[in-house]
């Protein structure tokens, strides 16, 4: 237990320091970058320890796993984000579990969110997931389809679009990922003039490439194994 706390503290301090240094290098304020713990396949105990250390954002990929974890971690000051593919038949449950959905990627899902948000009398903050690498195996709106997608979304008054999210093609070398982060930033800047004030988040960067993501404009980095250790 004490050993686990020590490891997690070291991870947390190392990452927050890396975030600060990356910000410094490119003249950004560290307050512009939020750390999100990607907690899939990690035990709730680790989430609790990291939350006590100051981690406030937690991302979950699966509705069932989020539900199980939240039962154990009741009432902790955590903002829960859905960062995995969300099936329409799980939306009702998801809206009760998550404060924000980072993976809105299709109209069918927007329709389901709108429907249950009306029933629950909620406004749902979302990010649009972009398939920035145009990978067949990945979810997300294609970059060239984003503008039309945003126009279609204007009819869903219970959905509040707060930013963009992506998971670029994996590479061992973060420099190979940099061009995708640059493209995300350009896409973000291109649509921003048409969006509300609240459109300001760019969720990108994971354990292997978050430093590069911050250099290119990330406002949220989603870190799993570098923070929690290896997944179960
Ligand atoms: C797992 C996951 C992460 C974190 O990945 P790590 O390589 O463990 O840092 C971030 N975003 C999404 C969508 C994920 O599924």
Q: Identify the CATH number of the domain in which residue 187 sits.
A: 3.20.20.10
36 Cβ closer than 6 Å to some ligand 1 atom: no
Unique residue bearing structure tokens 């903002």: 79
223 Cβ closer than 6 Å to some ligand 1 atom: yes
Best of 100, 206, 211, 212 to mutate for ligand 1, by most ligand atoms within 8 A of CB?
206
Strands 79-82 and 124-130: unpaired
How confident is the model at residue 155, as a pLDDT?
A: 97
212 Cβ closer than 6 Å to some ligand 1 atom: no
How confident is the model at residue 8, as a pLDDT?
A: 98
pLDDT in tens, 82-91: 999 999 999 9
Question: Hey, what's the torsion of the CAs at 83, 89, 94, 100, to 10 degrees?
Answer: 50
Question: How many domains is the chain partitioned into structurally?
Answer: 1
Q: Which pair of structure tokens corresponds to residue 66?
A: 């989020």
How confident is the model at residue 152, as a pLDDT?
A: 98
178 Cβ closer than 6 Å to some ligand 1 atom: no
167 Cβ closer than 6 Å to some ligand 1 atom: yes
Mean confidence (pLDDT) of the chain: 98
Residue closest via CA to ligand 1's atom 10 equals 222
pLDDT in tens, 26-54: 999 999 999 999 999 999 999 999 999 99
User: Which atom of ligand 1 is closest in space to residue 103's alpha carbon?
Assistant: 13
pLDDT reading at 1 higher than 90:
no
61 Cβ closer than 6 Å to some ligand 1 atom: yes
Residue closest via CA to ligand 1's atom 12 equals 83
Helix axis angle, 174-191 to 146-153, nearest 10°:
50
206 Cβ closer than 6 Å to some ligand 1 atom: yes
Sign of the CA dihedral with 183 first, then 88, 194, and 58 last: negative
Residue 126 to residue 82: CA distance in whole angstroms: 9
207 Cβ closer than 6 Å to some ligand 1 atom: yes
How confident is the model at residue 176, as a pLDDT?
A: 98
Best of 38, 46, 221 to mutate for ligand 1, by most ligand atoms within 8 A of CB?
38
Residue closest via CA to ligand 1's atom 5 equals 224
- 116-127 mean pLDDT: 97
If you measure from the C-alpha of residue 222 to the centroid of ligand 1, how many angstroms do you get, rounded to a whole number?
Answer: 6
- Please give the residue range of the domain that contains residue 42: 2-228
- 58-72 mean pLDDT: 98
Residue 64 to residue 69: CA distance in whole angstroms: 9
pTM > 0.85: yes or no: yes
pLDDT in tens, 154-211: 999 999 999 999 999 999 999 999 999 999 999 999 999 999 999 999 999 999 999 9
How confident is the model at residue 60, as a pLDDT?
A: 98
How confident is the model at residue 137, as a pLDDT?
A: 95
Residue closest via CA to ligand 1's atom 6 equals 224
Instruction: Give CA 156 to chain center in angstroms.
Output: 21
Percent of the chain scored above 70 by pLDDT? Answer: 100
């Amino acid at each position: 237990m004490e050993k686990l706390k020590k490891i997690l503290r070291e991870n947390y301090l190392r990452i927050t320091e890396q975030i600060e240094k990356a910000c410094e290098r490119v003249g950004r304020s560290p307050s512009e970058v939020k750390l999100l713990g990607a907690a899939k396949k990690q035990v709730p105990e680790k989430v609790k320890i990291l939350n006590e250390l100051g981690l406030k954002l937690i991302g979950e990929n699966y509705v069932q796993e989020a539900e199980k974890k939240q039962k154990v971690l009741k009432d902790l000051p955590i903002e829960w984000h859905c960062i995995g593919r969300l099936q329409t038949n799980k939306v009702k449950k998801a809206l009760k579990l998550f404060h924000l959905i980072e993976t809105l990627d299709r109209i069918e899902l927007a329709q389901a969110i709108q429907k249950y948000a009306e029933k629950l009398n909620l406004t749902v903050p979302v990010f649009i997931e972009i398939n920035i690498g145009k990978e067949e195996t990945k979810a997300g709106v294609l970059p060239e389809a984003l503008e039309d997608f945003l126009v279609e979304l204007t009819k869903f008054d219970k959905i509040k679009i707060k930013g963009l999210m992506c998971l670029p093609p994996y590479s061992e070398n973060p420099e190979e990922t940099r061009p995708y982060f640059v493209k995300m930033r350009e896409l973000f800047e291109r649509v921003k003039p048409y969006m509300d004030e609240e459109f300001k988040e760019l969720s990108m960067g994971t354990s292997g490439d978050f430093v590069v993501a911050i250099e290119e404009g990330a406002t949220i980095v989603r870190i799993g194994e570098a923070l929690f250790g290896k997944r179960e």
